[in-house]
Amino acid sequence: MKQVCLGEVAIDSCASEVSQKKVYMETFGCQMNKADSENMLGLLHEIGFAETAEIKEADLMVLNTCAIREGAEDKVYSYLGHWNTIKKEKPGSMIAVGGCVAQDAGAALLKRAPYVDVVFGTHNLQRLPDLVLQADQTKKPAVEIWQELPEDLPELPVIRNNDVSAWVSIIYGCDYNCTYCIVPYVRGREKSRSPEVVLKEIEELEQAGYAEVTLLGQNVTAYGHDLEPKIHLGDLLRLAGAKTRIKRVRFLTGHPRDLKTEIIDAVAEVENACEYFHIPIQAGDDRTLRRMARGYNVDFYRKVVDQIRTRIPDAAITSDMIVGFPGETENEFMRTVSLVEEIGFDACNTAAYSPRPHTPAASWEAQVPENEKYERLRFLNSVVSDVAHKRNKQYLGKTVEVLVEGTSLRNEDRLTGRTRTNKIVNFAGSSALKGQLVNVRIESVNPWAMRGEL
Ligand code: SAM
Ligand code: SF4
């Protein structure tokens, strides 16, 4: 694990006291949550906590929660129940809960889990150290939820989990109101970080030895519309190409409506911008898209894909889809299946619709029965897998640039890395290649990964 804080100083040397206490961190949900957890570890390090992978050693257990689906939320309370047993075995240890479930529940979380010591939200991560110290001193739960991000976004310390590829959040929140989605409620309105701050962070990462950054946002393609002067993601990619020496830049998650020509052009023209587009469509049927309030129809999406493929023929395109949205008919679902085949996605995250609080679709009458949703999900997944396999077969015999991320979890003699198009490639090689760009010839593929030779 690489330990850095902003300002190029190793965080070990900028912590005010030698780490003695241990923190165990568990993260549910998306890349934004993973990035937030890295900031939480950085913040806690400043009050003397070092991360441990052994929960039983921990003086503080932190759960960074996800509310996107009901299952993720239920998992929070079952984890907390288990953590309470561990807490009882280690008197003085504490439990802190952050993330989207904490933002939504606030103090009500203590009704279901009264043994929790700290509850904090998605807008006040920087308050975590103070809240932990407060709960420790008063021996009473410290609960603090902010409804918005602070006007001036604080620059947070960070301890990263990966020392080759780093997350860099560039925009927080979401201004859309998709009728199924809880994100706008728990993450608030869009707020971009300034390009100067983002570029400084990328340059520091490059100097610390990172080869790749992924620019993050719930709606990363909307980057910069709220800044003065306005700027868009294409401009930021061009600046990252011209002003930093980082080898690769990616971005996640795009919204089809905001993936403007300028962004596609920048990916085509900027050398370190990777040819990878994650653009969730959610459904392949116009009536469903309208009821989801997505703001585009299938033809609009087709045009975005055409534009990408005309400009960047080898680009990978991945997507998210929800099946069993209230009122979705069998025919409408089959249009989603056909669209997966027509577009030929490189991969898709698929999910059964899950009714969420504060969202309109949750109270609509025509809910699709659970067994029907899961049957549709299984069918869609099998088609996604066939289509992804076909896409990956196009790589057979080709030599691709791979960023080596480390040794494979299953086999220490093999290396694992990613292509510019975000495909996982496993191959034999020396661990000294970690962090390097190497050329690998693809020998075999499955729907999720490839094997090759240096
Ligand atoms: N902003 C991105 C977009 O508009 O496409 C998506 C971000 S959202 C955090 C990640 C994914 O979660 C969505 O693309 C959607 O497929 C899924 N999701 C959101 N709400 C859901 C729900 N109520 N049930 C099932 N899946 C959901
Ligand atoms: Fe949720 Fe829609 Fe915003 Fe994506 S664009 S985070 S799906 S509300």
Q: DSSP for 329-362, please give it.
A: -HHHHHHHHHHHHHHT-SEEEEEE----TT-GGG
Q: Is 420 in the pocket of ligand 2 (CB under 6 A)?
A: no
Query: Can you give the pLDDT at residue 411?
Result: 81
Determine contact, residues 239/191, Cβ cutoff 8 Å. Answer: no
Residue 360 CA, ligand 2 centroid: distance in Å: 13
Ligand 2 atom 1: residue of nearest CA: 181
Q: Is 283 in the pocket of ligand 2 (CB under 6 A)?
A: no
Burial zone of 307 (CB within 10 Å; 0-12 exposed, 13-18 middle, 19+ buried):
middle
Q: Is 264 in the pocket of ligand 1 (CB under 6 A)?
A: no
Scan for tokens 């005309």, then name that residue: 310
Query: Can you give the pLDDT at residue 4?
Result: 40
Q: Is 222 in the pocket of ligand 1 (CB under 6 A)?
A: no
Quick one: which of 431, 347, 446 has its CA closest to 454? 431
Determine contact, residues 256/281, Cβ cutoff 8 Å. Answer: yes
Counting ligands in written order, which one lies closest to the CA of residue 67?
A: 1
Omega within 30 of 0 (cis) for the link into 129? no
Determine contact, residues 427/419, Cβ cutoff 8 Å. Answer: no
Query: Can you give the pLDDT at residue 320?
Result: 98
Query: Can you give the pLDDT at residue 413?
Result: 84
What's phi and psi for 221, nearest 5 deg? -75, -10
Tens-place pLDDT, residues 209-235 = 999 999 999 999 999 999 999 999 999
Task: Please give the full DSSP string across 30-54, using - where no structure is assigned.
Answer: SHHHHHHHHHHHHHHHTTTEEE-S-
Residue 282 CA, ligand 1 centroid: distance in Å: 8
Determine contact, residues 407/431, Cβ cutoff 8 Å. Answer: yes
Determine contact, residues 24/58, Cβ cutoff 8 Å. Answer: yes
Determine contact, residues 331/284, Cβ cutoff 8 Å. Answer: no
Query: Can you give the pLDDT at residue 233?
Result: 98
Residue 38 CA, ligand 1 centroid: distance in Å: 22
Scan for tokens 């719930």, then name that residue: 218
Long-range CB pairs of 11-19 (<8 Å, 24+ gap) are 11/42, 11/45, 11/157, 11/159, 14/157, 15/45, 15/46, 15/48, 16/46, 16/48, 17/48, 18/48, 19/45, 19/48, 19/49, 19/50
Counting ligands in written order, which one lies closest to the CA of residue 279?
A: 1
Query: Can you give the pLDDT at residue 10?
Result: 36
Which residues fall within 8 angstroms of residue 134, CB to CB, at 6 or more apart? Answer: 142
Residue 183 CA, ligand 2 centroid: distance in Å: 6
Of 31, 32, 181, 219, the residue with max ligand 1 atoms within 8 A of its CB, to mutate for a pocket test, comes to 181
Q: Is 176 in the pocket of ligand 2 (CB under 6 A)?
A: yes
Q: Is 183 in the pocket of ligand 1 (CB under 6 A)?
A: yes
Ligand 2 atom 2: residue of nearest CA: 178
CA distance 75 to 61: 16
Q: Is 255 in the pocket of ligand 2 (CB under 6 A)?
A: yes
Q: How many CB atoms lie within 10 A of CB 448?
A: 12
Quick one: which of 299, 297, 312 has its CA closest to 264? 312
Q: Is 353 in the pocket of ligand 1 (CB under 6 A)?
A: yes
Of 31, 68, 216, 255, the residue with max ligand 2 atoms within 8 A of its CB, to mutate for a pocket test, comes to 255
> Which stretch of DSSP H or E encloses residue 308?
helix 298-311
Counting ligands in written order, which one lies closest to the CA of residue 350?
A: 1
Ligand 1 atom 7: residue of nearest CA: 218
DSSP state of 161: S
pLDDT-flagged residues of the chain (< 50)? 1-19
> Which stretch of DSSP H or E encloses residue 78?
helix 70-89
Q: Which atom of ligand 2 is nearest to the CA of 181?
A: 1
